Structure 1
């Protein structure tokens, strides 16, 4: 598994597997086992989907050593409170049967829509995460869906700057300004929803030619686009063949012409999220 190094020296896999929010619990558990089997080492759970118990079951069933995995979860927007943050992390560690998380993220920034003191509240939340990081319960801390103003608030006033910022990134939504800011401060950018435009793109002749050229699926090309963009894509599936396919992206690289086509591709249905109002969309 290819890795990147966070600025604190922590190694992070370049691709992650999101735990499925599947009504068939056994199928979701088996997808974790399959993901580990094919090579995924970064497993991502989400408090909003309440799938931490499924992750725990998948980890047990796989029998894979904990120290060789990179486990991530996040704090939902209703959890921005000192005692709440600590309680949620400690409860999560108990559910997963581990002493630490490799990465913990603030899922969505508080902003003007949540009150005049949103900046102070974000910092208060971050300070708890700094404490948990210093205690070793969190090996890395970061944010998700943070724009430049949210990042500046932490970078300029906190003791520890974010190590990761997770953003919705795919053709049509490349978040160039935020990515450049993160690069300036050595903040790794992770891409959620990298396959969002798949159903629209697959109709284009230019894309069909690209798939023939690389002998890859569109999902593989979109995941490769993320890596070539220097972001770390997250993917998920409950189907074994798709899990295998989504991992099989390390034997090719997009040439400059194809990369530029995807980078500059635009569509009216795909625009950057408005994360300035404090309320995350349900799909994120």
Structure 2
């Protein structure tokens, strides 16, 4: 099984227009991204696949991740819809297949072995989970034969997820942060703007550079020039005092908080 090598990725949630999605994915890969994140829930897997195919980047050099919709988490639906995702993506496998939300049809004892089956069958190289609580994460580790390769949750300078980041280090899986710009709130955050100003970077680059430095794999969504700007964060070394200042910011609220999320039970 090839190792999972996650770097800053392109998030595709909200890229609803097929042409825009395809063009953005292709442009991101040409710019240097090697990690593309989609989901059944985003209804754009076909456009993502077309973007991958349109680029000149070798498929084997790209980590492609998708996620199984919470309505599709019965064992039969996991298997069926994972193959449908491959068909839409135009791929014979994905590198990473996530449980998107542990809600609705999710039943750990029934759902997770289906992900093991898909890994054994070569549908996915790696299994991941998303939006899990610490207790659900520990439970999943006990049930899965496959190691959890990644846990994806909301994470940004105002919602830093220390407990789940500590567990990622303890369990040795990648910690993937979605909404790394807080759905745009970080771009208008006065404290981040101050750090950005004295370092001659945009607030977006500061937030992403903080994530990369702290071992978080951010997956910002972007279009146009912001695709390249976000990628530049991997080469930014913020002063230690500024990184520490971000760590000390007052925590804010979740930006993604559905009523039936696992943490609300």
Instruction: Please say whether Structure 1 and Structure 2 have the same fold, judged by a TM-score greater than 0.5.
Output: yes
Query: Structure 2 residue aligned with 1:171, among 127, 148, 157?
Result: 157
- The more displaced of 172-181 and 57-66 is 57-66
For residues 198 and 26 of structure 1, the distance between their equivalents in structure 2, rounded to whole angstroms, comes to 23
For residues 256 and 17 of structure 2, the distance between their equivalents in structure 1, rounded to whole angstroms, comes to 30
For residues 144 and 222 of structure 2, the distance between their equivalents in structure 1, rounded to whole angstroms, comes to 37
C-alpha offsets along residues 75-119 of structure 1, whole Å, 9 cap, x if unaligned?
111111111001111111122221110001001113xxx59xx6x
Q: CA deviation at 1:57?
A: 1.7
Distance 1:152 1:69, change over 3 A: same
Query: Structure 1 residue aligned with 2:95, among 82, 89, 102?
Result: 102
Q: Where in structure 1 are there 5+ consecutive unaligned residues?
A: 1-7
C-alpha offsets along residues 177-205 of structure 1, whole Å, 9 cap, x if unaligned?
1221221111211000000175456352x
1:32 matched residue in structure 2: 25
Distance 1:179 1:84, change over 3 A: same
Q: 1:219-230 to 2 correspondence within 5 Å?
A: 219-230=204-215
Q: Where in structure 2 are there 5+ consecutive unaligned residues?
A: none
Query: Structure 1 residue aligned with 2:137, among 146, 151, 154?
Result: 151
Q: CA deviation at 1:161?
A: 3.2
Aligned residues of 2:128 and 2:149 also touching (Cα < 8 A): yes
1:254 matched residue in structure 2: 238
Higher relative contact order (CA 8 A, sep 6+): 1
What's the C-alpha RMSD, in Å, of the aligned pairs? 2.5
Aligned residues of 2:26 and 2:51 also touching (Cα < 8 A): yes
For residues 80 and 208 of structure 1, the distance between their equivalents in structure 2, rounded to whole angstroms, comes to 41
Q: Does 1:202 align with 2:197?
A: no
Q: Does 1:61 align with 2:54?
A: yes
C-alpha offsets along residues 22-57 of structure 1, whole Å, 9 cap, x if unaligned?
454322211111101110111111211110011122
Q: Does 1:131 align with 2:117?
A: yes
Aligned residues of 1:33 and 1:62 also touching (Cα < 8 A): yes
Distance 1:61 1:137, change over 3 A: same
Aligned length: 264
